[in-house]
């Protein structure tokens, strides 16, 4: 959330930007940046009270002891114009306030308002829409303005959807079912409650009369509807976290005041405030002696009373405390004690230097994971983290249907991935499109699949390289060698597209990390390269196994070089080139001995695989 400090100064006296940032950080409020006099706050979901300028001002006033200057809301009212409001689903809308302002002139909002909205990250639209956004950012209460002339019928109805369609302000068509709460006139839905208004009743250049909506909607319902429709807004973000009951009517009056001042409107008497179920002001059992007992401090009772009073709590503090309605996160005695510690200063809590520490031992799987990461990064690979969701229906990597999400967010990524390869190849493609360096990448995460009993998951190692199959195979071999395995020891899928997948759980089960150092050989190696023509059906694994079986003990290693298809290789055949290294531990091998070994290998390939030496 972006908080311009110039806007904050309207409500509380501030020090320098650095002092403000330090005060908030030391009180546990996250700050991602503080550039150009704008604080970029990282707020936790339980601190909905901070999602406004007044909320931040109250927090700073609480921490610094300075007073808060709240705007005075005063305006003259014209003749009555009541609006009937019916709330059909009371559980999803505990309160709904409707107020009418007539005779407005729609145009650009004043420069000072546009500057404030722009600094806070909202685009100015027109004076009526800007006023609703301004009040939302000022006090945290979402508002919506309807063009009164575009509403059909005299009444506003808060009800569930009936399968009708509505085009939202952003142009997206929505189907509104019975699980969604909507705002409707006598004929149709005109807004998705708490999420977004409809295009057919939005404010436009010719709007004269405005209906201001200020309400409280069920957070779970708003969150579910927002996800299902793929719609989100500043309003839904706040409704999902809960709004302050006591600010609902104030925000409506504040918006009406600004519309009268900035748009020339007349505020009509007869506003409607439908209160279905007012919240019960909870009283938390509070014991003064528990504060210092829990914190290990010596805070005086007077200081505790002072902090609770600044928080907006109501006593008697000796036995019970009623927190302010806006602080929905304060639910227990421990929450109150935490607030006292936070405001008094975490730095005043004494440290205990006698606390012992114990280092957890590494699990075998973690040791294997570290070894694999070390091997791959040592070969120039970069670890990535891709989305767990995918719409890829390619069965080459993992046959069968992917696991579908019951309640997907938006219209894409409706399934959990069943393979890492498509995502890794997409990363390489994206890097290429953006002219980024083309480097090999890897990922160790879970994939998901269906089972006869439901769903399952397993951990997989995925590798992708832009250098082709030979480089990919070398990476796989070196990784397996690092954990004491051979290519045939684990389930692996390699593709000529440059991606590979290995069963990481199998690697962890079979890994042998307790290898011992062997001195380097003092005798020179003898190398030989071969190219053999084989049927397309013959895999590298079969060829390698045949070579190792036919070779003498002096064969030290075998490495893949290349595969070729095309003239003069006949159709249905391929030419596979590979290298071999021979070495005897106690003497130097002669060329004749190496040639004899190669002849035996060629003969074995001809007999067992039907291959011929490429001429």
* DSSP, residue by residue, 489-544: GS-EEE-TTSEEEEEHHHHHHH--------PPPSSPPEEEEEEEEEETT--HHHHH
CATH number at residue 335: 3.30.56.10
- pLDDT band for 393, please (50, 70, 90 cuts): low
| Assigned domain for 520 exists | no
Q: Are residues 433 and 495 in the same domain?
A: yes
Q: Are residues 82 and 115 in the same domain?
A: yes
- pLDDT band for 451, please (50, 70, 90 cuts): confident
pLDDT for the residue 417: 86
| Assigned domain for 355 exists | no
541 conformational bin, left if phi > 0, alpha if psi -120 to 50, beta if neither: alpha
Q: Are residues 269 and 302 in the same domain?
A: no
pLDDT for the residue 534: 95
Mean pLDDT check: name the lowest of 143-147, 222-226, 341-345, 483-487: 483-487
Q: Are 606 and 612 in contact (CB under 8 A)?
A: yes
Q: Are 238 and 55 in contact (CB under 8 A)?
A: no
Ordered strands of the 454-464 beta sheet:
382-383, 441-451, 454-464, 499-503, 492-494
| Assigned domain for 55 exists | yes
Beta bridge partners of 454: 451
Mean pLDDT of all residues belonging to the chain: 90
| Assigned domain for 518 exists | no
Answer yes or no: is pLDDT of 166 > 60.
Answer: yes
- pLDDT band for 282, please (50, 70, 90 cuts): confident
Ordered strands of the 189-192 beta sheet:
85-87, 156-160, 181-184, 189-192, 196-197
| Assigned domain for 53 exists | yes
Both structure tokens of 365: 């799987």
pLDDT for the residue 275: 92
Q: Are residues 167 and 187 in the same domain?
A: yes
pLDDT for the residue 117: 96
Q: Are residues 232 and 337 in the same domain?
A: no
Q: Whole-model pTM?
A: 0.62
| Assigned domain for 521 exists | no
pLDDT for the residue 258: 97
% residues pLDDT > 90 (the chain): 64
How far does the chain reach from its first CA to its final CA, in angstroms?
A: 70
% residues pLDDT > 70 (the chain): 94
| For residues 391-408, average pLDDT | 65
Answer yes or no: is pLDDT of 596 > 90.
Answer: yes
pLDDT for the residue 58: 94
> What is the domain extent for residue 216?
77-275
Q: Are residues 434 and 328 in the same domain?
A: no
Both structure tokens of 606: 């001809």
Which of these three, 275, 299, 319, is where a domain ends? 275
Answer yes or no: is pLDDT of 361 > 70.
Answer: no
Half-sphere exposure of 77 (CA within 13 A, CB side): 13
| Assigned domain for 480 exists | yes
Both structure tokens of 523: 């005798």
- pLDDT band for 304, please (50, 70, 90 cuts): very high
Which of these three, 453, 485, 510, is where a domain ends? 510
- pLDDT band for 359, please (50, 70, 90 cuts): low
User: What are the tens digits of pLDDT across the range 41-92?
Assistant: 989 889 999 999 999 999 999 999 899 999 999 999 999 988 899 999 888 9
Both structure tokens of 19: 């002092």
Nearest one of 591, 560, 588 to 574, comparing CA atoms: 560
Mean pLDDT check: name the lowest of 242-251, 340-349, 403-412, 421-430: 403-412
Answer yes or no: is pLDDT of 515 > 90.
Answer: no
Which of these three, 237, 254, 275, is where a domain ends? 275
Q: Are residues 326 and 370 in the same domain?
A: no
Question: How many contiguous H segments (helices) and E segments (strands) does the chain have?
Answer: 17, 27
- Give the E-state strand segments of 11-94 in sequence order: 30-35, 38-42, 77-78, 85-87
- pLDDT band for 397, please (50, 70, 90 cuts): low
- pLDDT band for 306, please (50, 70, 90 cuts): very high
CA distance 511 to 361: 18
CA distance 452 to 558: 42
Q: Are residues 16 and 93 in the same domain?
A: no
pLDDT for the residue 347: 85
CATH number at residue 589: 3.30.70.380
CATH number at residue 236: 3.50.40.10
Q: Are residues 267 and 340 in the same domain?
A: no
- pLDDT band for 358, please (50, 70, 90 cuts): low
Answer yes or no: is pLDDT of 94 > 80.
Answer: yes
Answer yes or no: is pLDDT of 174 > 80.
Answer: yes
CA distance 203 to 209: 9
| Assigned domain for 579 exists | yes
Q: Are residues 463 and 381 in the same domain?
A: yes
| For residues 456-469, average pLDDT | 92
CA distance 152 to 485: 74
Judge if the upstream peptide bond of residue 284 is cis by omega within 30 degrees of 0: no
pLDDT for the residue 360: 61
Question: With DSSP H G I counted as helix, E B as strand and the rest as coil, what are the percentages for the chain, rounded to 5?
Answer: 35, 25, 40
CATH number at residue 485: 3.30.930.10
CA distance 133 to 234: 9
* Sign of the Cα pseudo-torsion (95, 101, 104, 108, in order): negative
pLDDT for the residue 552: 93
Q: Are residues 543 and 576 in the same domain?
A: yes
Both structure tokens of 327: 């602080």
Q: Are residues 341 and 488 in the same domain?
A: no
Half-sphere exposure of 220 (CA within 13 A, CB side): 3
Nearest one of 230, 162, 171 to 195, comparing CA atoms: 230
Answer yes or no: is pLDDT of 260 > 90.
Answer: yes
Total domains in the chain come to 5
């Amino acid at each position: 959330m972006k908080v311009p400090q110039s806007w904050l100064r309207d409500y509380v006296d501030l020090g320098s930007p650095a002092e403000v940032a330090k005060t908030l950080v030391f009180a546990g409020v996250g700050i991602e940046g503080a550039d150009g006099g704008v604080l970029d706050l990282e707020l936790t979901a339980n601190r909905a009270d901070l999602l406004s300028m007044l909320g931040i001002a109250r927090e700073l006033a609480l921490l610094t002891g300075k007073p808060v200057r709240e705007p005075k809301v005063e305006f003259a009212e014209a003749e009555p114009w009541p609006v009937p409001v019916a709330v059909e689903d009371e559980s999803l809308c505990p309160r709904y306030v409707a107020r009418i302002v007539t005779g407005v002139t729609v145009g650009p909002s004043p420069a000072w308002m546009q500057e404030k909205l722009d600094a806070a990250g909202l685009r100015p639209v027109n004076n009526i829409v800007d006023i609703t956004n301004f009040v939302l950012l000022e006090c945290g209460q979402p508002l919506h303005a309807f063009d009164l002339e575009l509403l059909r019928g005299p009444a506003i109805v808060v009800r569930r959807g009936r399968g009708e369609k509505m085009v939202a302000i952003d142009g997206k068509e929505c189907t509104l079912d019975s699980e969604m709460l909507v705002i409707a006139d006598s004929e149709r839905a005109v807004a998705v409650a708490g999420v977004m208004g409809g295009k057919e009743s939005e404010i436009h250049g010719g709007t004269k009369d405005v209906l201001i909506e200020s309400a409280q909607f069920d957070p779970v319902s708003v969150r579910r509807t927002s996800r299902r429709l793929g719609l989100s807004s500043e309003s839904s973000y706040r409704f999902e976290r809960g709004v302050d009951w006591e600010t609902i009517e104030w925000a409506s009056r504040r918006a009406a005041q600004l519309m009268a001042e900035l748009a020339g409107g007349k505020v009509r008497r007869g506003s409607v405030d439908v209160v279905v179920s007012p919240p019960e002001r909870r009283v938390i059992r509070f014991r003064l002696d528990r504060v210092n007992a829990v914190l290990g401090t010596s805070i005086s009772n007077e200081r505790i009373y002072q902090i609770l009073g600044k928080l907006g709590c109501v006593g008697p503090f000796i036995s019970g405390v009623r927190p302010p309605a806006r602080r929905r996160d304060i639910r227990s005695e421990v929450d109150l004690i935490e607030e006292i510690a936070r405001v008094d200063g975490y730095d005043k809590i004494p440290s205990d230097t006698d606390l012992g520490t114990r280092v957890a031992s590494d699990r075998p799987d973690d040791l294997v994971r570290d070894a694999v990461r070390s091997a791959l990064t040592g070969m120039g690979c970069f670890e990535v983290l891709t989305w767990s969701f995918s719409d890829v229906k390619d069965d080459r990597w993992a046959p069968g249907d992917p696991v579908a999400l019951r309640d997907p967010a938006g219209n894409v990524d409706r399934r959990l991935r069943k393979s890492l390869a498509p995502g890794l190849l997409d990363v390489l493609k994206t890097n290429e499109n953006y002219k980024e360096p083309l480097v090999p990448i890897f990922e160790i995460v879970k994939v998901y699949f269906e089972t006869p009993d439901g769903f399952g998951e397993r951990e997989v190692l995925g590798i992708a390289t832009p250098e082709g199959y030979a480089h990919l195979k070398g990476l796989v071999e070196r990784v397996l060698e690092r954990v004491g395995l051979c290519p045939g020891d684990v389930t692996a899928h390699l593709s000529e597209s440059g991606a590979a997948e290995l069963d990481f759980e199998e690697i962890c089960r079979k890994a042998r990390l307790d290898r011992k150092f062997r001195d380097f050989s003092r005798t020179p190696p003898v190398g030989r390269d071969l190219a053999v023509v084989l049927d397309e059906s013959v895999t590298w694994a079969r060829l390698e196994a045949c070579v190792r079986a036919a070779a003498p003990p002096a064969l030290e290693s075998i490495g893949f070089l290349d595969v070729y298809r095309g003239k003069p290789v006949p159709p249905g055949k391929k030419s596979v080139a590979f290298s071999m290294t021979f070495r005897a531990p106690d003497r130097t091998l002669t060329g004749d001995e190496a040639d004899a070994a190669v002849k035996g290998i060629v003969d074995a390939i001809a007999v067992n695989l039907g291959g011929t030496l490429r001429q």
